[in-house]
Chain A
């Protein structure tokens, strides 16, 4: 009898995720008896050693929390310091930060879709195997990823831990010729982006509808990336300063990452949450493409995350091409070299907040500074710790629906597929865990 089966599944190293995690599952009498998504990567205590540092150090150091989404850390951090110092960046810098951020969405989403998630839907263990089955799709993915990296490097000199962001704007404005080359490549990549959306829509994705609360940023003028208010499908509409009043983090023993809840319940952040909440702000051409493929948002099928990611790749290519179409080197007649494209600011004491839509969802920062503008207190909430409670909830529901009497290998693969669908970034999630100090 299957009900009598005792199954213990342990996946000691989760493959194709960023960082080190494990899954423990025990089934007794046909029911899930215990399920734990373990995050055991050692904590790195960033919030501790940011204390005493100035804004540029924080921008450069927090980038090192995650090699895959350093732009998100830099933008959330710089916003917080600009709000403390009362710095108003120029519309040029605001627009170019959005382009810079589009590079990260493009790079991170293309990497996740092709190298991490898609092999599951082709019965492959890695992108190397996938390339033997669908070489064109893999090549297209690697091309889009490379384009995203080059777009980051246009404003940051390199794609991992870029060096271009500073309080007030950027350290450097790209030349007109570099931007013209990039614009041509972005326009040429539109065909790849459309083909990618079509390809993900045709993947054999499981149909697994669930109830969950989506949380994302929203901005009246644009599909929110770098700025906005926090909204949820449960009706929340908050300034980023009010985050801590509704969202709580708690420590569970099996994880070196904290779990976050919204008014006591799990919630979802990331591409599916964003597209569910802000679908009407997507360009009409993209909405038409998705509708024509029979994919409708908002969607309750968690596996539509990969389509949402592909749609955001399309959006990133389109937005970057559009915004660079109007590119001018700031503050100078066309074609002349430029000074530093940043407005001046004076460090001061205060409390500041920053929030932006990292590829995996909202990334929230809060800093308190002293009179010199140096950090007295820091708090950073990354997307993966916010999704962790939702991931465990999803695993319970989807594995039960999938059938707990299935062979272990199938349960194991489905469990891993569910986890990878969230694109968890464990390096991000384990930056913190503050040292609790007991004095004797």
Chain B
């Protein structure tokens, strides 16, 4: 059987999600024996325009050139998978979208060298169809290997949409909100990290994005009960996945609440 052809592409990002491949340790050599990497610039393999079976995309889109590049990649890729918060939700840098709208409304111009940049930072799905999204800031090697393993066997990867709270229970972690009154985002945040923050005694800060059916209103009210004011509650929702509508709506609602 021919080895599946894989590409890893980078857009605007911190490079941290690609590390889910490069940090595999000696398993990296096992993986490269099973797949045929056609493009992975950081690893020294250049073949941006080659046709591949799976393209992994890191980073968000913020220039016209990148917009064109992602369309070209989509045409040549059988499956396209986003890895991490930037590619899947726009990332932290998408906070710029809010700043533009809020503070620099009417007559505001960027300096000329950036005129080529787009008005908004966008996730990949805003531009091309995406077959599967891996959440996390960053995604971890376990998520990548599980997804690659499923796809190599012709199975759709499992979409982990549970809340971090569920993971805390599975890990027998003490609830930091109940026991210590910490402003934890676990009740609305997607699992996949392994409940790292609560297990370290700190509040989850939602770096994996919204879980399924998140009740942002109830959580906001609870955070208010813990002493946070509206603006602080809004900031809790404006993290690495700030452009996800359910978080953005919650932030805008709480921003208006004193």
B-contacting residues of A (Cβ < 8 Å)?
13-20, 41-46, 48-49, 52-53, 57, 60-61, 64-68, 70, 107, 111, 115-116, 119, 124-128, 131, 138-139, 142-143, 145-146, 149, 157-161, 163-164, 166, 171-172, 251, 253, 256, 340, 425, 427, 433, 435-440
Contacts and interface: CB of A to CB of B under 8 A. Distances in A.
Interface of B: 10, 12-20, 22-26, 28-29, 32, 37, 40-46, 48, 62-63, 66, 91-93, 95-96, 99, 104, 107-111, 113-114, 117, 137-138, 140, 193, 196-197, 199-202, 205, 207, 235, 239-240
B29 A157 contact: no
Given A126-B40, A161-B207, 15 more contacts: A16-B42, A64-B14, A64-B91, A67-B16, A111-B22, A119-B44, A126-B44, A142-B28, A146-B23, A158-B193, A158-B196, A160-B138, A166-B202, A438-B109, A439-B107
Given A67-B14, A142-B26, A163-B197, A15 B41 contact: yes
Contact of B15 (A68, A158, A435): A68
A49 B196 CA distance: 25
A417 B44 CA distance: 12
Contact of B29 (A13, A18, A131, A435): A131
A196 to B, nearest CB: 15
Contacts of B113: 251, 253, 256, 433
Nearest to B18: A67
A237 B45 CA distance: 43
Contact of A126 (B19, B45, B111): B45
A195 to B, nearest CB: 16
A142 B25 contact: yes
B82 to A, nearest CB: 16
Contacts of A64: 14, 16, 91-92, 137, 240
A116 B19 CA distance: 13
B197 A67 contact: no
A160 B202 contact: no
Contacts of B91: 64
22 contacts: A13-B46, A15-B41, A15-B45, A44-B92, A44-B96, A45-B93, A66-B14, A115-B22, A124-B44, A126-B40, A139-B29, A146-B23, A146-B25, A160-B19, A163-B200, A163-B202, A172-B202, A251-B113, A253-B113, A425-B15, A435-B110, A439-B107
A251 B112 CA distance: 12
Contacts of B45: 15, 125-126, 128
Nearest to A127: B43
A437 B22 contact: no
Nearest to B20: A160
